[in-house]
Structure 1
């Protein structure tokens, strides 16, 4: 199995993009241009991260203000896991009452990266959403259009890989996702996965770019984002129940990635799953 460090190295390069603050409905509140470079040193035994963000000058004129962060890594923390294609998630290891929690997700495809950060406050309410869209300048690969419900409709067949914080052997299994409309304002979701063919069905009310899944006692909403992105947000982070955070990225009309960070009913981070799925019918 490829090492976590080698997976991390898939992210090397200089990435130009922006940090976009979003409302809970996915509306853009603020956009801050950024450049992040990940440089391998000492035969890639060390990685230097340099992040520059360019905020507007408070006076409204002149050069933007530049904030800079520089870090060097020779190993990885217990709060982060990488897949072989460079996709990753970093976040809270142990959820607990009266403490902040959250997670970052990152994908790489065709010289672009999409990263997403979701944070919850000490009351378990959503406090901050940040979408980070990045590209390698010399490749000039265009951004994807904003995700729509129509993009998702149809049947998707996928392969899932689940990795674990204790580095035990990964699990792999097939998935099948079917999405169709029930009337004009409801989306029906049926997913089949695992060796025993577990089936989960649910329905969402479509509210513009937000899908409200309110049928369970742990309601979630899916927010459709720019650049083909989506995020699944628990309406309330209740640490006494199993909980998950999920981010998706539609990179081609018929190719989508989803990543799920899962916690058990004791608030312990237990797994990270990457699903690579292709649309097989509309």
Structure 2
């Protein structure tokens, strides 16, 4: 099994793109061009990270970080996908996480933030490509593309760095009516998990369960899944999805237990069958 540092190195390069800040309902609030340099040095034992953003009618914003280890609030998956965020939910502090997916010369990062208490405050979609490459444009995600059955593998990594675990998954999404879909999730073991969502344009709401959940279908083939309001003493998850091409998708899920403690990070790689 590769180390967390080796997995970080898979993000090496200069990533050009933009930070698009969205309302909780998915409306675009601001869009800021960006460039992120991840440059190893000292024989790959250290990393320099330089983040530049160019807000409209403002001076460039630049931040430089140098580090030699991975933060305890961060976990990387084998392919370089990662998540950084709160280690504990509390009603008295801000809460949120960044979920980062990587596929060859592209990255997708999604930041979901909650204000003190429980309400979803904002979402930031970060679309990036490696400098010097020109990959084809990824169109916005449409509900019709998600309908059907997806077979995949879920690989889970843990904050205590215990060994990764994996299991097969099957996700079936079908229309119940013009305004409803049903989602059925199956794992290697255990009973299937079924839920019905209400379709409102590019937004799907799941109101039954321990948390009210919404899915936003976004540009760049992305989707954002998270609670709209966190319920105390209930497990919760934050998810970024990415339709890379027709019939191929990744999902990254950061889970918290009923006490609010961060418990795991899962990368699901799935194909439509």
TM-score scaled by structure 1? 0.95
Measured in 1, the distance between the counterparts of 2:114 and 2:173 equals 29
- Separation (CA, whole Å) in 1 of partners of 2:49 and 2:136: 25
1:241 correspondence with 2:241: no
Question: Deviation above 4 Å: which 4+ runs of structure 1?
Answer: none
Deviations, residues 208-234 of structure 1 (Å, cap 9, x unaligned): 000010122421010111100001120
In structure 2, stretches of 5+ residues that fail to align are none
Match in the other structure for 1:269: 262
Deviation at 1:261, TM superposition (A): 0.7
Report the CA distance between 1:169 and its aligned residue.
1.1
Partner of 1:147: 141
User: Tell me, what secondary structure is at the counterpart of 1:11?
Assistant: coil
Asked whether the 8 Å contact 1:147–1:227 carries over to 2, the reply is yes
2:38 paired with 1:44: no
- Rounded to whole Å, the distance in 1 between the matches of 2:210 and 2:264 is 22
| RMSD value, Cα | 1.0
How far apart in 2 are the matches of 1:158 and 1:82?
19
2:253 to 233, 256, 260: 260
CA shift, 1:27, in A, is 1.7
The 5 Å alignment of 1:120-269 reads 120-194=114-188, 196-269=189-262
CA distance in 1, matches of 2:173, 2:55: 40
Task: Report what 1:67 is aligned to.
Answer: 61
Match of 1:20 in 2: 20
Once the 2 structures are TM-superposed, how far is the Cα of residue 95 of structure 1 from its aligned partner?
A: 1.1
The number of aligned residues is 273
**Pairwise mapping of residues 57-136 of structure 1 onto structure 2 (< 5 A)?**
57=57, 65-136=59-130
CA distance in structure 1 between the partners assigned to 2:211 and 2:65 by the alignment:
38
Unaligned runs of 5+ in 1: 58-63
Deviates more, 1:216-225 or 1:251-260: 216-225
- CA deviation digits over 1:37-65, x for unaligned, max 9? 000101111110001100122xxxxxx52
Provide the secondary structure at the position in 2 that maps to 1:198: coil
On the 8 A contact 1:25/1:209 being kept in 2, the answer is no
Alpha carbons 2:14, 2:35 under 8 Å: kept: yes
In 2: Cα distance, 1:16 partner to 1:28 partner: 19
Matches of 2:264 and 2:208 in 1, distance apart? Answer: 25
